[in-house]
Amino acid sequence: DAGVIQSPRHEVTEMGQEVTLRCKPISGHDYLFWYRQTMMRGLELLIYFNNNVPIDDSGMPEDRFSAKMPNASFSTLKIQPSEPRDSAVYFCASSLGLGGAQGYGYTFGSGTRLTVV
Amino acid sequence: KNQVEQSPQSLIILEGKNCTLQCNYTVSPFSNLRWYKQDTGRGPVSLTIMTFSENTKSNGRYTATLDADTKQSSLHITASQLSDSASYICVVTLYGNNRLAFGKGNQVVVIP
């Protein structure tokens, strides 16, 4: 398996533009997570899906952010309109089961570095 | 206040030396505690996982310890190599809702 695949690796866009980040989870994993990482705040959970259904989106900063998972092998995170404070690295992760005593591990993608100017 | 605090924020060590990273957490109760390694430009990769009843776990030159009474964990790197240069992130899984609480990481730089 190629692991969790994210695209693009880097994105530079102007303030106000729409940005779409893409993720292909590991085949067979039933959970998909979107995280944002900044130096100031570290890793923050934005939203996660179970079997393509959004379960918890309480981490989504505001209505400008939206995420979809139309099928088990694809998810998008969209920011519209983008703002400079959205600049960060966005990670997608997938897992088989949800972390708990069973110790299901999360596999992270390589991330998308977003710069909004 | 962050539920997971890591120290030191960053450190530089000579190749071949040992180092210990600290993680203090307030999350309680918890299901497990993980240490992740994040190389520059990559996503985090799990190194170790411990449940609340375990107090040590090794993965090669990495050894994690856990003291659930004092709510402290440490990651010890033995005989450091240049490839150990990375950020090490402590992650605690909350019992019940399985939410994750992340530390901000320890940035380690190994120099020859």
At residue A99, the pLDDT reads 61
Whether residue B100 and residue A103 make contact (CB cut-off 8 A), yes or no, is no
Task: Let me know: does B110 contact B14? Beta carbons within 8 Å.
Answer: yes
| Mean pLDDT, rounded, for B62-91 | 96
Name the 3-class secondary structure at B41: coil
* Residue among A100, A107, A110 whose CB faces B93 most closely: A100
A101: confidence class by pLDDT, cuts 50, 70, 90? very low
At residue B31, the pLDDT reads 83
Annotate B45-107 with DSSP letters as a single string: EEEEEEETT--EEEETTEEEEEETTTTEEEEEE-S--GGG-EEEEEEEEETTT--EEE---EE
Name the 3-class secondary structure at A33: strand
Task: Report yes or no: B104 at the A interface, CB cutoff 8 Å.
Answer: yes
Whether residue B103 and residue A42 make contact (CB cut-off 8 A), yes or no, is yes
Give the residue among A6, A3, A7 at the shortest CA–CA distance from A92. A6
Which residues 9-68 of chain B have a CB within 8 Å of chain A? 31-32, 34, 41-46, 49, 51
Whether residue A41 and residue B93 make contact (CB cut-off 8 A), yes or no, is no
- Interatomic CA distance for residues B5 and B48, integer angstroms: 18
- The answer to whether residue A107 scores a pLDDT higher than 50 is yes
Residues of A in contact with B104 (CB under 8 A): 41-42
| Average pLDDT, rounded, for chain A | 92
B1: confidence class by pLDDT, cuts 50, 70, 90? low
Q: What is the pLDDT of residues A13-70, one digit of tens each?
A: 999 999 999 999 999 999 999 999 998 889 999 999 999 999 989 899 889 999 999 9
Task: Let me know: does A36 contact A46? Beta carbons within 8 Å.
Answer: yes
- The answer to whether residue B95 scores a pLDDT higher than 70 is yes
Whether residue B51 and residue A106 make contact (CB cut-off 8 A), yes or no, is no
Whether residue A106 and residue B104 make contact (CB cut-off 8 A), yes or no, is no
- The answer to whether residue B110 scores a pLDDT higher than 50 is yes
Residues of B in contact with A41 (CB under 8 A): 104
- The answer to whether residue B2 scores a pLDDT higher than 70 is no
DSSP letter, residue A100 = S
Name the 3-class secondary structure at B27: coil
Residue pointed to by tokens 């729409």: A18
Whether residue B102 and residue A44 make contact (CB cut-off 8 A), yes or no, is yes
Report the chain A residue with the minimal C-alpha distance to residue B41. A110
B11: confidence class by pLDDT, cuts 50, 70, 90? very high
Report the chain A residue with the minimal C-alpha distance to residue B35. A105
